[in-house]
Amino acid sequence: MKSIDLVFRSNINGGLRHLKLTDVKSDLDAQTVKNMMQQIIDAKIFVDKNAELLYAKPVSAVYIDEQDHVLFEEK
């Protein structure tokens, strides 16, 4: 199963914040992902109690490929 880790710079102390999504398309290009990250930022739905953006600037995006490694399986 593929997942994607979207990393943003926060407006709160400039820290990094991760948004991890599972079951994603695995053929997205960098520009498409950047555009989607910008849409998340522009929607301004992730804010703290002082209305500071938790996700303010795209930093990186990484595909994570998780595979099960079955050691044994009783049938």
Three-state DSSP at 13 gives coil
Give the model's pLDDT for residue 71: 78
Instruction: Report yes or no: 54 and 44 within 8 Å, Cβ to Cβ.
Output: no
Q: Which two tokens stand for residue 67?
A: 């595979």
Sorted by where each begins, the domain ranges of the chain are 2-65
What does 20-74 look like in DSSP terms, one character per residue?
A: EEES--S---HHHHHHHHHHHHHHT--B-TT--BSS-EEEEEEEEE-----S---
Residue from 49, 45, 55, 47 nearest 18 by CA: 55
Q: pLDDT tens, position by position, for the chain (75 residues)? A: 789 999 999 998 889 999 999 989 989 999 999 999 999 999 999 999 999 999 999 999 999 987 777 778 887
DSSP 14: T
pTM of the entire structure? 0.83
